[in-house]
Amino acid sequence: MPPTPVVPRQAATVLLLRDSPDGVEVYLLRRVRGMPFAGGMTAYPGGGVDVRDAEADLSWTGPVPAQWAASFHCAEPLARELVCAAVRETFE
């Protein structure tokens, strides 16, 4: 019997870069060892879309959600959730 397909969850990852005298620097974090997924590993900030990301009542700065939706090839509400998740996860 074939395995049941796994449905991926909506998630966002952020790649923070900056120039330095020694070259490009990349922001990474080390995940807590006890985490069920990739515990102890080095990773970029990011994580799954949360209910809070859809309910975020905030002022928008930068490209409007419609532009993100076009870039991500998805619906505008999902694009907004993904951007909110990316920002939230970066600050968590």
- pLDDT over threshold 90, residue 31: no
- pLDDT over threshold 80, residue 56: no
Query: What is the residue-averaged pLDDT of the chain?
Result: 91
58: tokens are: 């905030």
As a whole number of angstroms, the distance between CA 80 and CA 2 comes to 36
Query: Residue 79's pLDDT is what?
Result: 95
Query: Residue 55's pLDDT is what?
Result: 84
Could you read off the pLDDT of 57-80 as tens digits, one per residue? 778 888 999 999 999 999 999 999
Q: What angle do CA 8, 71, 45 make, to 5 degrees?
A: 55
Q: Are 82 and 68 in contact (CB under 8 A)?
A: yes
pTM of the predicted model, to two decimals? 0.78
